[in-house]
């Protein structure tokens, strides 16, 4: 999922360079949403691992 967030971020940067404002803002928005989802899932996984008593 982090890969998709990075992919949409790169698309947003390229679109912004070429002046496609709508595409750039849409891609940036998708990248932000995917990054937040990835971050939440990562935190949940770390908490679940800590509750089970496993060490990292």
Task: Report whether pLDDT(23) > 80.
Answer: no
Q: Are 31 and 6 in contact (CB under 8 A)?
A: yes
Task: Average the pLDDT over 19-41 and give the result.
Answer: 81
Cα 47 from Cα 41, distance rounded (Å): 10
Measured from the Cβ of residue 27, the count of other Cβ atoms closer than 10 Å reads: 21
Q: What gap in Å lies between CA 13 and CA 23, rounded to an integer?
A: 10
Confidence of residue 16 (pLDDT cuts 50, 70, 90): confident
Beta-carbon count within 10 A of 15 CB: 18
């Amino acid at each position: 999922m982090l890969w998709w967030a990075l992919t949409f971020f790169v698309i947003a940067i390229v679109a912004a360079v070429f002046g496609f404002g709508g595409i750039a803002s849409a891609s940036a928005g998708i990248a932000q949403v995917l990054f937040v989802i990835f971050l939440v899932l990562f935190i949940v996984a770390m908490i679940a691992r800590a509750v089970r008593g496993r060490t990292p």
